[in-house]
């Protein structure tokens, strides 16, 4: 088991080995925020508040190795040993501080103190008072003017990446990878498109704006990247005027979109040249931000 998976097992064990899914997510959120120096999980605002998609990927692995029961709830498999897990004292402190809170009271506590994570909650309006609902509303990213974003996922967790989209009020994510496959959890086409749609963000794939993988070999310096992108700008982009127009139409319709690829630094990613081509379109007068 890796450190994240040990965190899941240790926390679940401290709370008696069986928790409802929503309660477990909230305890995990509180534990990583208040009892770990470097949080082992990140969270996004979802249907019932703070939620980690990564925790469910780790849960599937723990079911495979026989540590957790294959149920909707979180339940230790009978007979599984939890000896030798890290952070034992921290798990106990978390249990002592929060075990008296369950269900609605637990949600209220988390929503009250971390209102951003309640902005997409289906229950907030039903269980919080008017002042608390106002605080949640204030934590919601404001609707803003049209803006074109670019974003890479290198070095980012799925949740960290998603929060950048949410906090910038991105309405549609446009994948400009030629082959949208990734060994990094959550970033292959189907997984990414399914996840962003759950958060109310559209997904479009425009492979014509990508670069073939065989052209991305032996990129060791910025000069190597610049040569590749200069060639891409003169060849692929000029040959794909329709794809650029499709992207522009998506932008005009949705106002706040982000094009995405792998590299964290836009100078080392072709999405920078896509953004440059967009800015050269007749009548372009919109902001471009790299997030």
Q: What is the total residue count of the chain?
A: 291
Partner residues linked to 257 by β-bridges: 148, 172
Write down which residue in 111, 139, 167 finishes a domain: 139
Write down which residue in 139, 155, 175 finishes a domain: 139
pLDDT for the residue 9: 95
**Same domain (yes/no): 167, 223:** yes
Mean pLDDT of the chain: 95
The range of the structural domain enclosing residue 80 comes to 3-139
Q: Are 201 and 173 in contact (CB under 8 A)?
A: yes
Q: Is 36 exposed, middle or buried, given 0-12, 13-18 or 19+ CB atoms closer than 10 A?
A: middle
**Same domain (yes/no): 156, 244:** yes
Q: What 8-state DSSP symbol labels residue 76?
A: B
**Same domain (yes/no): 189, 271:** yes
Model confidence pLDDT, tens digit, residues 42-63: 999 999 999 999 999 999 999 9
How far is CA 254 from each of CA 144, 186, 251, rounded to the nearest angstrom?
A: 12, 24, 5
Band of the pLDDT at 86, cuts 50, 70, 90? low
Model confidence pLDDT, tens digit, residues 190-245: 999 999 999 999 999 999 999 987 777 778 888 999 999 999 999 889 889 999 99
Instruction: List alpha helices for the chain, DSSP H.
Output: 3-14, 21-34, 53-64, 88-98, 103-113, 124-127, 130-139, 158-167, 189-198, 222-234, 236-239, 241-254, 271-279
Share of the chain above pLDDT 90, in %: 88
**Same domain (yes/no): 169, 131:** no
**Same domain (yes/no): 41, 122:** yes
Q: How far is CA 107 from the centre of its chain?
A: 21
| Domain tally, the chain | 2
Average pLDDT over residues 81-92: 80
Model confidence pLDDT, tens digit, residues 97-146: 999 999 999 999 999 999 999 999 999 999 999 999 999 999 999 888 99
Band of the pLDDT at 84, cuts 50, 70, 90? low
**Same domain (yes/no): 56, 101:** yes
């Amino acid at each position: 088991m890796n450190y994240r998976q040990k965190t899941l097992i240790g926390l679940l064990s401290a709370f008696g080995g069986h928790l409802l899914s929503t309660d477990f997510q909230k305890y995990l959120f509180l534990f990583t925020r208040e009892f770990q120096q470097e949080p082992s999980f990140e969270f996004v605002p979802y249907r019932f508040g703070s939620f980690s998609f990564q925790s469910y990927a780790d849960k599937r692995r723990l079911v495979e190795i026989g540590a957790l029961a294959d149920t909707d709830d979180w339940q230790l498999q009978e007979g599984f040993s939890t000896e030798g897990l890290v952070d034992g004292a921290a798990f106990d402190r978390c249990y002592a501080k929060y075990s008296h809170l369950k269900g609605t009271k637990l949600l209220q506590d988390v929503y009250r103190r971390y209102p951003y994570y309640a902005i997409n909650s289906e229950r907030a309006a039903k269980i919080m008072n008017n002042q608390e609902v106002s605080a949640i509303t204030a934590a919601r990213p404001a609707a803003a003017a049209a803006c074109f974003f670019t974003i890479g996922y290198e070095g980012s967790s799925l949740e960290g990446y998603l929060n950048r989209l949410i906090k910038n009020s991105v309405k549609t994510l446009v994948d400009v990878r030629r082959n949208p496959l990734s060994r990094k959890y959550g970033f292959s086409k189907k997984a990414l498109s399914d996840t962003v749609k759950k958060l109310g963000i559209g997904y479009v794939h425009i492979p014509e704006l990508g670069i073939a993988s065989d052209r991305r070999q032996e990129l060791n310096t910025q000069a190597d990247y610049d040569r590749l992108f200069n060639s891409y700008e003169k060849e692929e982009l000029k040959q794909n005027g329709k794809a650029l127009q499709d992207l522009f139409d998506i932008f005009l319709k949705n106002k706040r979109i982000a094009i995405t690829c792998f590299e964290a630094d836009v100078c080392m990613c072709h999405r920078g040249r896509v953004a440059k081509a967009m800015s050269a379109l007749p009548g372009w007068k919109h902001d471009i931000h790299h997030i």
